[in-house]
Amino acid sequence: MDLYYSGENCSIIGFTIQDSEYGGIYISSKVNIMNNIIKNNGTGISSSCFDDDSNSVPKVSNNIILGNERGVWTAGAFIFENNVIEDNDKGVYLCNGMNKEDGKDYLNQAMIKNNTFINNYSAVYSDQVSPTVKNNIFKNNNTGILLASNFWSGGAGLPVVGNIISSNEYGISVFSSTGDDSFTNVILLGNNTIVKNGVAGLRVVNSIAVVGNTIFWDNGTDIIEESSVNSSIGYSCGTNFPTSWLDQGGNISTNPMFVNFNNDDFHLSPNSPCVDSGDTNPVFDDIEDPDNPGFALYPSLGTLRSDMGAYGGHGFSDYDYTWVGIDESESLIKNYTLNQNYPNPFNPTTTISFHNNERGSFELNIYNSKGEFISNLLNEKNLARIFHETLKFL
């Protein structure tokens, strides 16, 4: 199925869009794309929306984006949240959001938040643009975030905030093809947890990195820098930070003491040296617990001074965006997704598909409109994490 849409206020909900050689969905204005399965396409979703009103841009949420060459390709503003992006060559590909007619870069207004990126080659590939990337999980990708090519250094840079970036080959890779200061990529890292990456947590080539309140641990190398210019790091935990970078103070080199590092629980233990060790400027403070004034709201710990890592922090107003810890009220990895059956209505059969993100026990029953049991379609005690679409109901 291919969909092309250029009107306004449309919603695309509950479809399976698959096996298109070129593109599954193309949009150029406000569209809500929700609760779909988008798989095995050349490009799952293509977007080019040039609008600076956040209420008028496309919103892509709660979808499974699986096995595409490019899961999402966009050259305009959009909001991308609460999706599972898995086994794509490029999960989200952002390419030159400059509108030639008015000279504005609309991808600077793009938001990528609360998503889970698993087993992609490049989970987020940003070429000449700087969206905000916050509160995501990047795991088992070749590269979690790739910021490439050249863009004017007068921009704010790429804000990467409150993410957990683990078990990739490269956690983040930032490079420019020239060392010319007028064309230098800039990345702003705040309150991230960057751990278990095989080659490097962060690689910076001919670019600028500004790093604060971030934990690097058990990476092949925490930071690889090659001709990086004017980079700095402060109030961060890790080993062997580049000596050529400006030391903003407050860095520590000790075990961050996660709750369960081996099982990827990267919450900080109460006695972690990273608790209350972030930047002392109040703009970085943790969110206050309304029931316990003067103390941080969980999952931050201790007093209001920012914790290091993805579960700490509150604001970074100097760069006109918010650094916040991961919002646990929005599940980043959902245990399952049950999709709309198709066709609906049906005669005589319909297909019911679902996706489970963890191995476990799953049961699927059919009930009528009165709540009366009709049939059991599935009862598995040890079902692998996989996408399923073979259940038929007569």
What is the structure's pLDDT at 205?
87
What is the structure's pLDDT at 207?
84
Domains detected in the chain = 3-319 (2.160.20), 336-393 (no CATH)
381's tokens: 């005690």
Cβ 389 vs Cβ 368: under 8 Å: no
What is the structure's pLDDT at 19?
87
Statement: residue 155 has pLDDT above 50: no
What is the structure's pLDDT at 139?
96
Statement: residue 365 has pLDDT above 50: yes
Cβ 31 vs Cβ 80: under 8 Å: no
- Among 275, 135, 260, 299, smallest CA distance to 215 is for 275
Statement: residue 249 has pLDDT above 90: yes
The mean pLDDT value of the chain amounts to 79
Over the stretch 190-229, which tens digit does the pLDDT of each residue have? 999 999 999 999 999 888 899 999 999 999 999 999 876 7
Taking the model in full, what pTM does it have?
0.78
Query: CA neighbours within 13 Å on the CB side: how many for 133?
Result: 30
Report the SS3 class of residue 80: strand
* CA angle centred on 284, ends 278 and 289, rounded to 5°: 95
Over the stretch 37-63, which tens digit does the pLDDT of each residue have? 999 999 999 877 655 555 667 889 999
**d(Cα 321, Cα 316) in Å, to the nearest integer?**
6
What is the structure's pLDDT at 48?
72
**What is the pLDDT confidence band of residue 329, given thresholds at 50, 70 and 90?**
very low
